Amino acid sequence: MAQFLIFVYTLIIFISLFLVEAPCVTVADCPPVKKPLKMWCIRQTCFYGFGKRPDL
Is there a contact between 49 and 35 (Cβ–Cβ < 8 Å)? no
Dihedral angle of Cα 35, 25, 28, 42, to the nearest 10 degrees: 20
pLDDT for the residue numbered 4: 92
Using CA atoms, how far apart are residues 16 and 4, in angstroms rounded to an integer?
Answer: 18
The model's pLDDT over 20-56, given as tens digits with 9 standing for 90+, comes to 666 788 878 777 777 787 888 888 888 777 777 666 5
pLDDT for the residue numbered 33: 76
Q: Could you state, in order of their start, the residue ranges of all structural domains in the chain? A: 20-56
User: Can you give the pTM of this predicted structure?
Assistant: 0.47
